[in-house]
Structure 1
């Protein structure tokens, strides 16, 4: 049996007629940049996030960069980030001229460990970027308390977490801003790059709207150094078709996660299945387990037709590009341990139970040897 990591073809076939009609509408109107489809998506995603403003941008990485710039982060500042995350989290910080300050994770959730934040704060600290990794929100109460105490911004990296909840609160409700990615593999995915920032702040929203169009308002009058990062109409039209299905897809992902956890706990003692905080609504962008002999298991599964991914094999604090920051192996032990043990199994709403049973049977077969 072949089990892909992700299969978007069935989803497309279900929505094909609506998507083609929406794209034809964009072509017929010939309004391609910041038009009605973008405005509709911005409004709907902001309301979905429980906030006042949505700012459509070119991708999730730009969402982070523009948020940082909107919060006044710049040359000589420091921003606290987890090391166990996709490069864009820290890359966006570095591109503002600020320094990423890496801290360790909670080994149960893979999210930033709030107990490590305060010790990392200096007079240069301007923001914290909690990453809601794999679809589960970080411990936001603790993070908000620290941020208020030190008067620093919170930029939620929610690239993997649209629709997730923390104690009934949505992504974006507790941070200064929150950043979404609509990369095709995300829970709400476009057919190319796309992203969005959401916020409750009127002033920062307006500032970020200006930044995304070369810092100009009105056109050709430039007040800040911005750049070109706009969500285009074609991607917005596709996302508007997909968006009403997001909650159903999240529930299906949670159902698949429950299947995996039940099957694995019944058959494979070597595997540590995902931990979900009881106050969280986890949307399972990824179903990530911890295992011994991770690389050997991945190779075995590949030989047997099962696709997997390792998010992430090398922590950011040990990446060559950040070598000058002076971090060494052993500095963030939980992060480094996760990089050696974490592996993500196939996860998408259309995943079949028999596919999951096959995946688990092959994992069990590997450890039985």
Structure 2
């Protein structure tokens, strides 16, 4: 059996006519930049996030960068985040001319460990970026308490976590901004690059709208150094068709995750560490990530059996060559280092079948036997 990591074809075929009709509307209107489809998506995502403002941008990476710039992060400032995340989190900090400062993660959630944040704060610290990894929110109460105490900006990197909650509040209800990625593989994915920022702050929202159009307001009058980062109208048209299905897709992911966990515990016991949804959170399972011994050997074996997997992330950011000048080394963040050696993500998408899940688990069981 072939089991892909993600299969978007069935999802597309189920809404093909709607997608094509929505794209046809854009082409007939000839309004290709920041048109009605973008405005509708911004309004809907803001309402979904329980915040008043949303700003569509070109991608999730720019969403973080623009949030930091609008929040006042300048060259030489320090921004605290986790080393166990996609490069864009720290890359956005560096693109502002600021310095990424890493702290370790919690072993259970893979999210930033709040108990380690305060020790990393200096007089240069300007912001914290908690990453809601794999679809589960970080422990935001403690993070916001620390941020408020030290007057720090908080940008929630929610690229993988649209719809997730912590203590009943969604991404964006805690931080000064939250950033979404609509990369095609995300729970709500475009058919190309796209991103969005949500916020409760009217001034930050206005600054972000200016930054995304070369820093101009009005047109041809430039007061800040912005750049071209607009959510494309055609991608917004596609996302508007997909958006009403988001909650249903997330619930299917949750059901698949529960079934994976039951099967893995039944057949492999403690040989596999399954993900845990904390009791105060709603996990949307962008990824279903387990911890295992002999991870790389398992991945190769599964590939031979036709099962696709992914390793997020095999080399934490603190030991990436581009950040060598920061002076970190292997072992500085032992929980992140261990996760990089043990974590592997299994196939996860709403249309995943029970037969496919059974086969994945059977192959894992076969490997460890």
**What CA distance in whole angstroms lies between the structure 2 residues aligned with 1:328 and 1:186?**
31
Name the Cα RMSD after superposition: 0.3
Match of 1:215 in 2: 215
**Residue of structure 2 equivalent to 1:333:** 334
Q: Could you give the per-residue CA deviations for residues 173-220 of structure 1, whole angstroms, max 9, x where no partner exists? A: 000000000000000000000000000000010001000000000000
**Per-residue Cα deviation, 1:91-135 (whole angstroms, up to 9, x for no partner):** 000000000001100000000000000000001000000000000
CA distance in 1, matches of 2:331, 2:190: 39
Look up the SS of the partner of 2:75 in the other structure. coil
Counterpart mapping for 1:251-290 below 5 A = 251-269=251-269, 270-290=271-291
TM-score normalized with structure 2 length: 0.99
Q: Where does 1:50-129 land on structure 2 (aligned, <5 Å)?
A: 50-129=50-129
Residue 313 of structure 1 is matched in structure 2 by 314
Cα separation, 2, equivalents of 1:340 and 1:140:
27
In structure 1, C-alpha distance between the alignment counterparts of 2:219 and 2:294, rounded to whole Å:
57
Q: How far apart are the structure 1 equivalents of 2:205 and 2:359?
A: 47
1:358 aligns with 2:351: no
Aligned residues: 368
1:328 shift after superposition: 1.0
**Gapped runs of 5+ residues in structure 2?**
none
Map 1:9-20 → 2, pairs under 5 A: 9-20=9-20
Aligned to 1:296: 297
Equivalent positions of 1:142-181 (< 5 A) are 142-181=142-181
Q: How does 1:25-64 map to 2 (within 5 A)?
A: 25-64=25-64
C-alpha distance in 1 between matches for 2:239 and 2:84: 29
**SS of structure 2 residue aligned to 1:268:** helix
Q: Distance in 1 between matches of 2:15 and 2:127?
A: 40
* CA distance in 2 between partners of 1:329 and 1:32 (Å): 47
Partners of 1:126 and 1:57 lie apart in 2 by 23
3-state DSSP of counterpart to 2:273: coil
TM-score w.r.t. length of structure 1? 0.99
CA distance in 2, matches of 1:106, 1:163: 22
How far 1:275 sits from its partner (Å)?
1.2
Shift of 1:72: 0.5
Counterpart-to-counterpart distance in 1, 2:268 and 2:153: 43
Aligned mates of 2:116, 2:32 — CA distance in 1: 45
